[in-house]
Chains A and B, each alone.
Chain A
Amino acid sequence: MAKRRPGRSKVRRTAPAKAPKRTVSVRAFLIGLGAVLVLIAIAVVLIRRKDAPSIPSAPPVVTESMPQIATAPEPFRFNVDLDDASLSAGQKDRSLRDEQIQVVERLVAMMPSNANAVFLLGMVHQEQGDTVAATQALQRCLELAPNRADAYDHLGRIAQQQDEPEKAVTYFEKALALNPKMAGLHYRLGQVYRACDRPDEAIAAVTRSVAQAPQAPENHVLLGELHLQKQRYEEAQRHYEAALVRDPNLSKPYYGLATAAARLGRREQALKYRRKFKEVEEKEREIAKQQRTDFDPLQVTLGSAAHTHTDVARVLAIGGHLTLAEQLWRRAARLDSANVDCRFSLADRYFRMKRFQQALPWYLEVIEAAPNHGPAHFFLAHVYEELDQDARARQAYEKVIRVSPDRTEGFLALARFLWERDGDLQRVKGLVQRAVDLAPIAANYAFLGRVCHKSGDREAARAAVQKAVQLAPRHPEYQRLLRQVQEN
């Protein structure tokens, strides 16, 4: 198998597929921030591509891309040893909760003007039930970043929990003004309007929520309740039925249907729905009972602490505190074997530092926890390439295509891999053609032109390169390539 060509382009890598969503929605902002960074990276790629050859290459091997901090800060000290048998589960649980607070408080001490840091502090306090401290932090966050819809949203949720629906309405309305598309916000607003005895506004809010998430049954359940309250029984029934279409295993809609039928004087129908309600509700109770039996609070805390550390590390990394971030990601990995984000972040860090041997096990752990994690397979393939394990690299690229068949990165990367090794040109052509189909951009046409040219299909090569030139007329590389295919 041919070796890679020397001097291949240093195109910055881009993720082939979205990483699995994190389960804790409150951290959506940081995930969003991550997405923004990926977009910036893509932008850099595109800018650099102006001068780069059109064949995509392996990901870059760069050193630290984040700002560096001159003096190394004190590492975090973690008080609880998870293997210490002398500690009860409760003691470990409490210590881990304290640890989260300490970590995020240190983050805020290091970056007191960083709205993300302060927001995280609010989240951790809220998770731990300290709504007073959470409120203070969220309000501080809003002083730093007045347009944070998520901070208003969480203040609203706290007010809702504290039975202050008027206050919750104010916060949710502010959040809505800043981000009308925030998931679940219209629904929550509907809930608090109802608590304020403003049913018409509640109905309007939840109707907007239906438009936003048409498949969510809870919107229809709430609308059913609101119409029931307004004594619009037929309308209530319509919404309860809509909820059951979306999830037939819910008990509440049957209760609502029974109530509405009873109010409408349809006694037989009411009895039928009540029987069904009882049946479904008993199933729900059994499930709840089982969940209660299986519930392990320490496991929940371990997961929560790992999330916190991962998020804090992300903010630290953005601020250039990479060593501290690394320490937290490692701690998170130790706390929760299912946490993908911390593992991917560690792998990424070692990849950037050319420590491929060190990156390898973390990518493998990510894949073990999330077998269809496209980016992990993608970078794992590159790591294998760097370690000259071509068979595994190819296998990994093939996997990228399987888990992310609607994205170009896997097709292009495998095509490049085979191209560089003088592999089966027909396969390479097929892969690049698929990439062109998915993303008909100049770079992909140019690559296709090269492959066709090499395989002797001059007509096709010319057509592809002409398309590339047409899409990027001032790109010197494509002009040169066009001359080359026309000359031959």
Chain B
Amino acid sequence: MRNRPSRVMGLVALLGAILAPGRAHGIRLVDVTKDTGISFVHTDGSSGQRYIVETVSAGIALFDYDNDGDIDIYFLNGAPLKGATAKTPPRNALYRNEGGWKFVDVTKQAGVGDTGYGLGVAVGDYDNDGDRDLYLNNYGANVLYRNNGNGTFSDVTTQARVANGAKVGAGACFLDIDKDGDLDLYVANYVDFTYENHQVARFNGYPAYVGPLNYEGTSDTLYRNEGNGMFADISVASGIAAHAGTGMGMVCADYDNDGDTDVFVGNDVAGNSIFENDGAGKFEEVGLLTGLAYDLAGRPQGTMGVDCGDYNNDGLLDFHVTSYQRDWATLYRNLGDGMFEDVTRVTGAGGQTFAHVTWGNGLVDFDNDGDLDIFISCGHLHDNVDRFDRTTSYLAPNQLMENLGDEKFANISAKAGPGMGVVLSSRGAGFGDLDNDGDVDVVISNSRRGPTILRNDMGGDRHWLGVRLLGVKANRDGIGSHVTVIAGDLKQFAEVHSGRGYQSHSGLRLHFGLGDHAKVDRLEVQWLGGGRDVLENIPADRFITIKQGQSSSRQAP
């Protein structure tokens, strides 16, 4: 009998744990879209003809366009395709973050309301003038908007020579291919679709979109920044043009950790392309060698989004790709010798993605516990799929996989807050601390609908650090530079990217969850092109900007 009270207490504790809405530090994402003032609605420009481009629109960009310290949102929109009409031409939209979860449409005054068919977007300060410029990868002519630094942009596509013909665009990234301190531009292209070679499939008697195999793949375009406001097409000279693919999402990252920026282009129903940089802007395609081109079984995936991050904190960049239905969104672990291993099944990172088409993705520490979780946006491309395949659905909830810290992930979508209950057909996703409260929020682009804005209401008192780089010799935002953060026994590694996920852009400001660590013992920046800055004893829970060469303990490369 003496043991009885403790047993009861144990039971109460157990019940408490079971009945609690989440862990004390549980991720809780709340849909705040309707309170934000954002009225943007996406159109895919469809009229029932089922052009393939309708299915792949569109990405999204999260960046601070006016240097006021908060993250603004740029939405891509479709445009009426042949056979469709619109009273008012659909436009892309820029929403300025006013703070307090209020956003204002500044598209018109900023001059960024492109009416082209938006597919992909990249952000980078290509002219190193201290503000971020915007590149749109469209179906049709692409657009480069130069940020004038006063809240407005100028369309400089023609003088910059980056229109890229009239191709079907996909992802795009700014990167410094030759470490000369200015940003070059990689533009992925999808397939050779035209109205003349348009095709329609039929599944179980219902009209359906065809896939990329019905068209020829196309090679991508690489522009070198000439430093005078102009770019030169070096696709052939760089070795990129030798490889035709069905490019979708992409990320530019130092996959082999050799100090230069390589390129990962996800291909749809084809092996992914990994273009290894020789350090001077010449590339060799090594996808097959790395193990990143195909999944564990050697199957090409219907790759949509691509992101990277060090999910297991071993100092190496791992990659994550989203894919088509009946395939899991796939996690590739970096083995450290230029090789990767598909660890989707052994880690559980695939979650419940098998039944869905998956698009936007992000390796993000949502609960500030010091490791990267995975967000995946879902939604089928066939708007009538429910009529011929009930294992899936056009509208689908997004998914969130929590990193459990032992090379295992758990699908926590159902208990990660009401925001994960939103059921739409999502595409691109962007991640950033929109309210500067120390946790990462989410913005999702939905096909034919308004976006979803998810506020992270993570509980608990875990610590964090936001880091922005300011290159001097390196490019202005430090794109391609590496940051290592050590807080007690926690060591994290990140790289600054322009363009990531599903044809989207976010994350120029790096976010590090620190768990219980109230300070960072050591922060090291390895700048792209050389130079290292080391900072020590940085108090947590703040945003810091590290200017190249500012640290007292600056070291030689």
Asked if B205 and A90 make an inter-chain contact with CB atoms under 8 angstroms apart, the answer reads yes
**Within the assembled complex, what's the spacing in Å between the Cα atoms of A93 and B346?**
42
**Within the assembled complex, what's the spacing in Å between the Cα atoms of A339 and B69?**
70
CB distance from A189 to the nearest CB of B (A): 16
Interface residues of A in 279-313 (CB under 8 A from B): 281, 285, 288-289, 292, 297-298, 301
With beta carbons under 8 angstroms apart, the residue of B202, B213, B270, B355 that contacts A89 is B202
Asked if B391 and A162 make an inter-chain contact with CB atoms under 8 angstroms apart, the answer reads yes
* Inter-chain contacts of B259 with A (CB < 8 A): none
With beta carbons under 8 angstroms apart, the residue of B204, B345, B352, B391 that contacts A158 is B391
Mask of A207-231 contacts with B, CB within 8 angstroms, 1/0:
0000000000000010001001100
Residue B101, interface by CB 8 Å = no
Asked if A256 and B202 make an inter-chain contact with CB atoms under 8 angstroms apart, the answer reads no
Q: Which of A38-46, A126-134, A346-354, A394-402 contacts B (4 or more CB under 8 A)?
A: A126-134
* Inter-chain contacts of A285 with B (CB < 8 A): 213, 270
With beta carbons under 8 angstroms apart, the residue of A163, A263, A274, A281 that contacts B289 is A274
**Within the assembled complex, what's the spacing in Å between the Cα atoms of A288 and B294?**
17
**23 sampled A-B residue pairs with Cβ under 8 A:** A90-B207, A93-B202, A94-B206, A95-B205, A97-B204, A97-B205, A130-B390, A161-B355, A161-B391, A162-B391, A163-B353, A163-B354, A197-B346, A221-B297, A229-B296, A256-B298, A274-B288, A277-B298, A281-B300, A285-B270, A292-B213, A292-B214, A297-B205
* Inter-chain contacts of B354 with A (CB < 8 A): 163
Residue B389, interface by CB 8 Å = yes
Q: Is the interface of B mostly helix, strand, loop or mixed?
A: loop
Asked if A225 and B297 make an inter-chain contact with CB atoms under 8 angstroms apart, the answer reads yes
Of all chain B residues, which has the CB nearest A125?
Answer: B390
Mask of B258-290 contacts with A, CB within 8 angstroms, 1/0:
000000000000110000000000000000110
* Inter-chain contacts of A221 with B (CB < 8 A): 297
CB distance from B334 to the nearest CB of A (A): 14
**Within the assembled complex, what's the spacing in Å between the Cα atoms of A460 and B345?**
72
Q: How many residues of A contact B (CB 8 A)?
A: 45
Given A221-B297, A298-B202, 20 further pairs, Cβ under 8 A: A89-B202, A90-B202, A93-B205, A94-B204, A94-B205, A96-B205, A131-B391, A162-B355, A163-B352, A197-B348, A225-B296, A225-B297, A229-B346, A251-B298, A262-B339, A271-B289, A278-B288, A285-B213, A297-B202, A297-B204
**Within the assembled complex, what's the spacing in Å between the Cα atoms of A225 and B344?**
13
A-B CB contacts (within 8 Å), total count = 90
Residue B430, interface by CB 8 Å = no
* Inter-chain contacts of A228 with B (CB < 8 A): 296
Of all chain B residues, which has the CB nearest A254?
Answer: B298
Residue A154, interface by CB 8 Å = no
Q: Is the interface of A mostly helix, strand, loop or mixed?
A: helix
**Within the assembled complex, what's the spacing in Å between the Cα atoms of A54 and B330?**
70
Asked if B296 and A129 make an inter-chain contact with CB atoms under 8 angstroms apart, the answer reads no
Of all chain A residues, which has the CB nearest B328?
Answer: A163
**Within the assembled complex, what's the spacing in Å between the Cα atoms of A225 and B204?**
33
* Inter-chain contacts of B288 with A (CB < 8 A): 258, 274, 277-278
Residue B326, interface by CB 8 Å = yes
Of all chain A residues, which has the CB nearest B291?
Answer: A259
Residue A195, interface by CB 8 Å = yes
Asked if A288 and B206 make an inter-chain contact with CB atoms under 8 angstroms apart, the answer reads no
CB distance from B389 to the nearest CB of A (A): 4
* Inter-chain contacts of A95 with B (CB < 8 A): 205
Q: Which of A131, A161, A285, A298 has the most CB of B within 10 A?
A: A161
**Within the assembled complex, what's the spacing in Å between the Cα atoms of A251 and B293?**
14
* Inter-chain contacts of A128 with B (CB < 8 A): 204, 388
Residue B299, interface by CB 8 Å = yes
Asked if A129 and B205 make an inter-chain contact with CB atoms under 8 angstroms apart, the answer reads no
CB distance from A88 to the nearest CB of B (A): 10
* Given contacts A129-B388, A194-B345, A229-B346, A255 and B214 within 8 Å (CB-CB): no
* Inter-chain contacts of A301 with B (CB < 8 A): 204-205
In the A-B complex, the 8 residue pairs with the smallest Cβ-Cβ separation, listed nearest first, are A255-B298, A163-B354, A94-B205, A93-B205, A129-B389, A252-B298, A297-B202, A129-B388
Of all chain A residues, which has the CB nearest B385?
Answer: A129
**Within the assembled complex, what's the spacing in Å between the Cα atoms of A469 and B304?**
77
* Inter-chain contacts of A288 with B (CB < 8 A): 213
* Inter-chain contacts of B388 with A (CB < 8 A): 128-129
**Within the assembled complex, what's the spacing in Å between the Cα atoms of A132 and B205?**
19
CB distance from B49 to the nearest CB of A (A): 14
**Within the assembled complex, what's the spacing in Å between the Cα atoms of A292 and B390?**
23
Mask of A173-199 contacts with B, CB within 8 angstroms, 1/0:
000000000000000000000110100
Of all chain A residues, which has the CB nearest B271?
Answer: A281
**Within the assembled complex, what's the spacing in Å between the Cα atoms of A161 and B348?**
17
Of all chain A residues, which has the CB nearest B288?
Answer: A274
* Given contacts A90-B205, A229-B346, A262-B291, A163 and B355 within 8 Å (CB-CB): yes
